[in-house]
Structure 1
Amino acid sequence: MKRILVPTDFSEQALYAFEVAVAIARKTGAAIKLLHVVEMPYAPSFSATGDLVSRDSIEQVYVLKLLESSRDEMQELLRTVEHNGVEVVQEVDVDRVNSKIRRVVREDQVDLVVMGSKGSSGMDEFLIGSNTEKVVRTADCPVLTVKRRQPNFDIKNIVLASDFKREIRTAIDKVKMFQDIFDATLHLVYINTPGAFESSNNIRNTMETAAQRYGLKNYTINVYNDVIEEDGIMHFAQDIDADMIMMPTHGRTGFSHLLSGSIAEDLVNHTSRPVLTFHLR
């Protein structure tokens, strides 16, 4: 791992993400880029009397002030988190957040995005979502989401939830890389639900065959029964006191995403544990 991207909005959760990124960088020797994106409103500007005024001059001043303030906050963030020995560069830009992150991931050949997440629920989750969700859905590299401060960040128990069929092979190298970084135990889990019930014996055989095929080491095989997959993953992680959940995602967008949803994105929203997502493509 050579490059870690930490998008920040200067929230507490973004601070926690930077702390985690520094901990990972210390183990891997990776460099970190801190990125803040100023998003501009696109509505017309009106004077106090309701007349349309020149947007150029007003918006230029507005943007310059935002950029100046953002750079000051970036310096404060750097002073807040001890990062001696870790290379950290910073960038402040005016753009759409998700578009800018995707472009930086591609152009800088980023290996990992670490983002803070506040989570959401109910109608807010359906109508608005979050930038973190969008990055999870579209980023070309693994995304680690962090909600709470992780003091002395050290991963010893990782939950890997999947059906362990052909699709997981496209991400197995990333799974093994993160396990190796922390010398962690990998807990493979299949969530058996009433709507897609299978024999536990058949599932275990499938999981063991996959583990052998992919050369996994230091792992456990687990079949966990629950009503829905998302709850099963969270309950299993709680039962073993997992430090991280790994979850593949298909990265669907648009109407197909609304129809199918995403267990990975639901986990990012609803669990307090760090979640590492990676695309199956």
Structure 2
Amino acid sequence: MNQIIHKTAQTMRRILVPTDFSEEARNAYEVALAIAKRTGAAIKLLHVVQPVSYTPNFSATGDTMVGNGNMEQVFMMQLLEATKGRMQSLLDTFPHEGVDVVQEVDVDRPINKIKQTIQDDEVDLVVMGSKGSSGLDEFLIGSNTEKVVRSADCPVLTVKHRYPNFEVGEIVLASDFKREVRHAMDRFKAFQQLFGARMHLVYINTPGAFESSGNLRQKLEDTAQKYGLKNYTINVYNDVMEEDGILHFAEDIQADLIMMATHGRTGLAHLLSGSIAEDLVNHTHIPVLTFHLK
């Protein structure tokens, strides 16, 4: 088991935790600490202050001259100082002995800064809190968490509730198992091995795309053999909609984690057809690990 954890640690060296200081964000930080203690990964706590309007040459380090009467700059500097204090309080909330945790506060659009940090720091995992949303707000706006799920170049783990001792014993891997998911599967296997968990491959059989259970089970078994999976089960679950089926199956087996690959549809196609992975992030209380396939 120690050899497996060591091997997984080699693929998880940097964890990014964007925070807005909400309860869900604190929960995400606590989960990130648990993962970092298993893998030896370093954590970056990131808070992004979104400016009210564009301020040329503004710097989060305070390099901009503020003696020119620009009250917005003065306000932003005061806000940044207060934010740094909140970051330190968050850092002190949970013991982090043995884990390298750094803080960063910057001024930008949150999604831009998060994506840039993932690229610049070669982040291996993002852990984010998710409040969830519903109705018109969800359809028209979406959250920063959903935007990261849709576009990040690394796996994204979304967390709602608190897990003082984050453990994963039962994992749901939901997919149509039709697309090439090799890169996602490598990441998913590493996460499974990290916790020594059992992986439940599930295909949601819906009335609109019904297939025989025998054919589907063979397809899932072929996938398991192709990717060298171990400690897994094969499942075909009937439900009206894919999202509902995944949620119901996960609840039936008392899953600790749901894993999905997402194609990150954007624009009109996203609005019309939606994304099952993003819907799950919104609607389930179970942590969700997603990986964006290009």
TM-score after normalising by structure 1:
0.94
- After TM superposition, the structure 1 = structure 2 runs for residues 29-108 of structure 1, keeping only pairs within 5 Å, are 29-42=40-53, 57-108=70-121
Q: How big is the shift at 1:56?
A: 6.6
Aligned equivalents of 1:187 and 1:164: distance in 2?
Answer: 13
**Percentage identity across aligned positions?**
70
Deviation at 1:259, TM superposition (A): 1.8
Q: Deviations over 1:244-278 (max 9, x none)?
A: 00011001111221122100000000000000000
What is the letter of the counterpart of residue 133 of structure 1? E
Aligned counterparts of 1:172 and 1:77: Cα–Cα separation in 2: 33
Q: 2:145 aligns with which of 132, 147, 159?
A: 132
Aligned to 1:205: 218
How far residue 150 of structure 1 moved from its aligned partner, in angstroms, is: 1.1
Alignment of structure 1 residues 119-268 onto 2, 5 Å:
119-268=132-281
The answer as to 2:17 corresponding to 1:14 is no
Distance of aligned partners of 1:56 and 1:274 in 2 relative to their CA distance in 1, 3 Å threshold: farther
C-alpha displacement at 1:165, in angstroms?
2.3
Query: Cα deviation per residue 1:45-90 (whole Å; 9 max; x = unaligned)?
Result: xxxxxxxxxx971111011011001100001001111111110000
User: Structure 1: where are the runs of 5+ without partners?
Assistant: 45-54
The match for 2:9 is none
Counterpart Cα distance in 1 of 2:274 and 2:140: 13
Equivalent-residue separation in structure 2 for 1:164 and 1:207 (angstroms): 7
Which residue does 2:62 correspond to in 1?
none
Post-superposition CA distance 1:111-167 (Å, at most 9, x none):
000000000001110122111000100111000000000121010110000011232
Measure, in 2, the Cα distance between the counterparts of 1:174 and 1:11.
Answer: 28
Amino acid in structure 2 at the alignment position of 1:257: H
> Cα deviations across residues 209-263 of structure 1 (Å, max 9, x unaligned)?
1100110000000000000000100000000000000011001111221122100
Per-residue CA shift, 1:26-45, capped at 9, x if unaligned?
Answer: 0100000000000011299x
Is it true that 1:5 corresponds to 2:23 in the alignment? Answer: no
The DSSP-based 3-state class of the residue aligned with 2:180 is helix
Q: 1:144 to 1:56 in 2, by over 3 A?
A: farther
TM-score normalized by the length of structure 2? 0.90
Superposition RMSD in Å:
1.5
What one-letter code is carried by the residue in structure 2 that aligns with 1:35?
L
Unpaired runs of 5+ residues, structure 2, are: 1-11, 56-67
8 Å CA contact retained: 1:162, 1:168: no
Is contact 1:244–1:274 with CA below 8 Å preserved after alignment?
Answer: yes
- Count of aligned pairs: 272
Aligned-partner residue type, residue 196 of structure 2: D
Residue in 2 that maps onto 1:51 = none
Q: Distance in 2 between matches of 1:192 and 1:128?
A: 30
SS at match of 2:136: helix
Aligned counterpart in structure 2 of residue 116 of structure 1, from 96, 107, 129? 129
SS class of match (1:119):
coil
State the one-letter code of the partner of 1:109. Answer: E
Match of 1:49 in 2: none
Do 1:112 and 1:141's aligned partners in 2 also have CA atoms closer than 8 Å?
Answer: yes
Name the CA distance, whole Å, in 2 between partners of 1:263 and 1:166: 15
Give the Cα separation in 2 of the matches to 1:263 and 1:272. 15
